[in-house]
Chain A
Amino acid sequence: MTGPLRIIIADDETPARNRLRELLADCAPAVPHELVGEAANGREAVELMSRVPADLLLLDIRMPEMDGIEVARHLLSLPQMPAVIFTTAYDLYAIQAFEVNAVDYLLKPVRSERLLAALQKASQMRPPGQEQLQKLARRPRTCLSVQERGKIVLIPIGEIIFLKAEQKYVTIRTNEREYLLEESLTNLEQEFVANFIRIHRNCLVAKNSITGFEKVAEDGGDSHWEVVLKGVQEKLPVSRRQQFIVKEFAK
């Protein structure tokens, strides 16, 4: 790597950010670096990262809006995913999970020697992989993210009306528009089982977007059900296998 290490700090507590800044200053003679930004919550961190290129992210786990692990998952869609070091005060679950998944982490209060060692390692560190992060995640993501023109676009789960698999991609439909996502529908179904329901082999619908079902006659006398959705014109067919949801919805 050429030039100083570009670092971003994300932590919701001001004193914690101040402390890290002080410690980074202490480490400056040994590891030349440049603090290029600070974020006070998960969403800010994602936005910042897609604007300001950085090599290393010091990422707190417990933050409002979006936790650190989800932040890292969204950053994976960046062409230049930075190295990530998680920081946490006390979180048995997280610490065990990190050890298992070999993701680097620092315990708060952070010791300057420990930070120095982490910085020295950072230049050779590989960013964590999606699979590792998925194992660390404790709850479904609050947003899905897609990359558009080098920027990360966050789509809050609550705004999604349906997810439809089309060949290699999944189409995300919101009130306004569509996005293309490179994830598997099966994984999405598992993660968001609380919010979405499968109506067809290739389609998940947000439960609270369903306003009703309509029976549609086909040529040849058969008929099938279609989902009527809030806010969009499209009607989506319910496959024969998933027809039981029509009955469940009626309850």
Chain B
Amino acid sequence: MLQKVASINQNAYPGALPNFRNLGILLRILLLVNAVCLIAAVVKSTSLEQTLQEFTAIAALAEPILILSLLVLMVGGPWLSKLPFYRGAGIVLVLELCITTLVYRLGGNFFGGGIAPLERLWFFTLLMTAALIVYFNMLSRLLSPALAESRLQALQARIRPHFLFNSINAVLSLIRSDTKRAEVALEDLCDLFRVLMADNRQLSTLEQEVDLCRRYLSLEQLRLGERLQVEWHIDNMPRDAQIPPLVLQPLLENAVYHGIEPRTEPGVININIFLRNDQVQIVLRNPYQREGTHHAGNKMAMENIRERLSLHFDVEARLTAGLRGNLYQVQIVMPYLRSEK
């Protein structure tokens, strides 16, 4: 989880070193290295007896290196895991070379002249270390979609409870005076929650998403009145484009929460959706209000969307956000995939 947080700005899974203090990881390293030593012994020999001799000879050199390496990695593990993956892996490789050299120099006298040259040992150490790093990295990569998906599911239904209760409060205020509007508002709320509570792993269409956003915004309008102004520029929108559901809505929710609610004067949320170079472009702008306290929630929603986009479109989709003058702008670029429906 921590490694995920550290990797926030990258689209692809960045890779990770294993936790060297984990017993399972240590055991796996021990077993794998010894298995490779055994294979080497078998290859080199013709009889069972000779295999044992060879194995003992290899192990005599390999075990000290292995044990020393594990100790060093156990101590340095937490520090290494904080580094970017490639740098961490590089440092581990260099460490291994140093340890190999050390053991070779110290043990050299002890073994006499009968051992392989240092260069060959270096080669084997590098190969073994790299193979292990790749192995552990692939293992965690294999687990990461599952992680991402459970994370995604945990996050996606998280509309601000604040919105729900305020909306219901607004509907209650209409029941006596304007029953028609109260009805419409409840229907909107229903539609919104139907999507929020659905299993949203399938792609939806841009048209559906925009429709959902309109319902959401009309509910917000109910509460905020003319403080909330919305400008849609979607005439050239590719209606049938595929999009993960609830990509746009949370962004609008952010825009209302951070851009409109903290203001007393009316503010405009501007939504542009169009096709350019066969890519769907979504640009949202809202007034920026320096409030300072709510940014954590904002980042979380943004990260969730970014992760879902990359899960569906890999590196072809992009989400960028930042200040443009006194406006906050979020831009999504994603490939134009027509829905089959």
Contacts and interface: CB of A to CB of B under 8 A. Distances in A.
B166 A22 contact: no
A89 B174 CA distance: 17
Interface in A1-32: 12-16, 18-19, 22
28 contacts: A12-B261, A13-B166, A13-B170, A13-B223, A13-B224, A16-B169, A16-B173, A18-B173, A19-B169, A19-B172, A22-B173, A22-B176, A40-B264, A62-B162, A62-B261, A64-B261, A64-B263, A64-B264, A89-B161, A89-B169, A90-B162, A90-B165, A91-B162, A108-B165, A108-B166, A110-B169, A138-B293, A139-B293
Given A12-B264, A64-B264, A108-B165, 14 more contacts: A13-B170, A14-B225, A15-B170, A15-B173, A15-B174, A18-B173, A18-B177, A62-B261, A64-B262, A90-B164, A107-B165, A109-B165, A109-B168, A109-B172
Contacts, number: 60
B264 A90 contact: no
The 6 closest A-B pairs by CB, nearest first: A19-B173, A15-B173, A89-B165, A15-B170, A90-B161, A109-B169
Q: What band does the interface of chain B fall in when counting residues whose beta carbon is under 8 Å from A?
A: 20 to 34
A98 B225 CA distance: 30
A35 to B, nearest CB: 15
A15 B264 contact: no
B333 to A, nearest CB: 33
Interface in B212-267: 222-225, 261-264
Interface in B159-197: 160-162, 164-166, 168-170, 172-174, 176-177
A65 B265 CA distance: 10
Interface of B: 160-162, 164-166, 168-170, 172-174, 176-177, 222-225, 261-264, 292-293
Contact of A89 (B166, B263, B292): B166
A41 interface: yes
Contacts of A15: 169-170, 173-174, 222-223
Contacts of B169: 13, 15-16, 19, 89, 108-110
A138 B166 CA distance: 21
Contacts of A22: 173, 176
Nearest to B165: A89
Contacts of A108: 165-166, 169
Nearest to B227: A12
A191 to B, nearest CB: 14
B264 A16 contact: no
B162 A89 contact: yes
Interface string A71-110: 0000000000000000001110000000000000001111
